[in-house]
Chain A
């Protein structure tokens, strides 16, 4: 399980989990789960386009992820956010359908772009993934405070002179970055599970932002490691285990909460308490 070719898998998957945990924390905090789903899945169309034109998949993913993120941000100024996200997603997927109908790609190839090919990570993927992850984490650290304020109390942020719109765009770019590095590894659909499950579990357990973010990273790492081990042993797709473990960790967090303080459980995920530090 830890032999030569599997080492790449362990390294890259751990990096992916780290980024998913950090970006996922903000995603859950901002209530942007739909965006976290739409950007990776829309970027999938970019991969299809790149393979049609014979270009690097990562480039196609990056361009489409950025276009999706910025498109949602721009259109979201005048329309409802969830509506705009849905429309951006279907437009991307419509383009994807067009590209796929033109190319002669095999169905398994599409399957691996959607559901990931974590056991087949090559040595050449380690370097670009690490660089993109560093950029992504550095970006989050750089804007940690303003992003936190804008996410939790937008009114106060606006009064302090922070542009909510600009922060929103920045967040979308971060999601796009995280997406383009992870889709070739864990697949478009599973990046989403990895961003939401652990972060939601962490957030329902604690109101303190830094603790929640750390917990979300730890849970994401555990999820990925367990999923890879289980997938290696059973030969079932890694995506199934990531999805199941994500839902399981959230269910367990809620269950623990339910047992611990049955009286105040309705107030367990109230807004407002999140600026506890």
Chain B
């Protein structure tokens, strides 16, 4: 038994403080991302979710320049970007894509400038890497209270508008007819999304932020269309991917070439994608079955028609 566990968990896994923090924070962030992500996927705003994490990292590089805490920079610019997206017109399905793109483009430009200042003024060349890829094993435990508060705010906002949000996400027209203030709910949701994304970007990096927001939610929604089930499933998949990814990354230190661990974000992203591909097989199977049924129907119709023509002739 003891040998089994050292086979799965490399020595020292349970005694490392960094791993403990990564497991706790990674798990919490995964749950928040998954819950917010279910709405993101239903609303078709994956691009906005990804763009917000990219713009939030701009705030991170800006914070380096100004010397304030990175988390402040992430959250402030994330919220500003969400507001800008709403102003440019993210609520219309047609203009959504462009609205997101324009804000993202401007944010990336700013990001280039901030990173230039970082590297020239403060000689922190590592900033680019840290900001883009983050590191789950480098979370300082002093930021945990703030992270917990932000996670609670993001979840709270989503929970507060849960019903009108779900209704307006599924069908905007019906929601409007039922008296839901669709625009207001949309803005509130976008702000919650910005906080959730900034939180995950600062703790685990911009790549994982998008992966955890979209992947588990999309997978869950392909398994079940019922909102509550999808929320639970998405959280489960998210947390599972993160924890398994942490274990693998920790173990990879002992893989060849020895003494050089593989990045945790690589494992988590791969796991998220593999989960999604599992459902792909299911969906493809269902599609093929419905297509076959359609073909059978068409064939039967053709036979009937032939028979009728012959009877008539």
B210 with A90: CB separation less than 8 A: yes
Q: Please choose the segment from A32-40, A134-142, A256-264 that sits at the chain B interface, where 4 or more of its residues have CB less than 8 A away.
A: A32-40
In the complex, the chain B residue whose C-beta lies closest to that of A197 is: B105
B106 with A247: CB separation less than 8 A: yes
Q: Does A241 contact B (CB under 8 A)?
A: yes
* CB within 8 Å of B: which A7-65 residues: 28, 31-34, 36-37
In the complex, the chain A residue whose C-beta lies closest to that of B103 is: A247
Contacts of A110 in B (CB 8 A): 128-129
Contact with A33, one of B97, B113, B266 (Cβ below 8 angstroms): B97
Q: A115-B115, A192-B104, A193-B109 are in contact. Are A31 and B97 (CB under 8 A)?
A: yes
B109 with A246: CB separation less than 8 A: yes
With the chains together, A80 CA to B266 CA distance in Å? Answer: 23
Contacts of B102 in A (CB 8 A): 196-197, 200, 246-247, 250
Contact with A107, one of B51, B125, B218, B265 (Cβ below 8 angstroms): B125
Q: Bin the interface of chain A by size.
A: 35 or more
Contacts of B194 in A (CB 8 A): none
* CB within 8 Å of A: which B99-143 residues: 100-113, 115-116, 119, 125-129, 132-133
The contact string, 1 if C-beta is below 8 Å from chain B, for chain A 93-137, is: 111011011100011101100110000000000000000000000
Q: How many residues of B contact A (CB 8 A)?
A: 62
**From residue B138, how far is it (CB to closest CB) to chain A in Å?**
14
In the complex, the chain A residue whose C-beta lies closest to that of B276 is: A87
With the chains together, A28 CA to B101 CA distance in Å? Answer: 9
In the complex, the chain B residue whose C-beta lies closest to that of A245 is: B109
A243 with B214: CB separation less than 8 A: no
In the complex, the chain A residue whose C-beta lies closest to that of B206 is: A93
Q: Does A86 contact B (CB under 8 A)?
A: yes
With the chains together, A91 CA to B116 CA distance in Å? Answer: 27
Q: Does A244 contact B (CB under 8 A)?
A: yes
Q: A34-B46, A108-B119, A200-B102 are in contact. Are A244 and B109 (CB under 8 A)?
A: yes
Q: A34-B50, A91-B273 are in contact. Are A79 and B98 (CB under 8 A)?
A: no
With the chains together, A75 CA to B47 CA distance in Å? Answer: 17
With the chains together, A98 CA to B132 CA distance in Å? Answer: 13
A94 with B218: CB separation less than 8 A: no
Q: Does B21 contact A (CB under 8 A)?
A: no
Contacts of A216 in B (CB 8 A): none
Q: Please choose the segment from A150-158, A160-168, A232-240 that sits at the chain B interface, where 4 or more of its residues have CB less than 8 A away.
A: A232-240
Contacts of B213 in A (CB 8 A): 86
B287 with A239: CB separation less than 8 A: no
Q: Does A269 contact B (CB under 8 A)?
A: yes
With the chains together, A87 CA to B95 CA distance in Å? Answer: 22
Q: Does A85 contact B (CB under 8 A)?
A: yes
* CB within 8 Å of A: which B219-239 residues: 222
Assuming A31-B98, A91-B270, A114-B132, what are 19 further A-B pairs, CB within 8 angstroms?
A37-B51, A37-B101, A78-B284, A79-B218, A83-B218, A85-B47, A86-B49, A90-B207, A93-B207, A94-B211, A94-B266, A106-B125, A192-B105, A193-B105, A239-B113, A240-B113, A243-B107, A244-B106, A269-B95
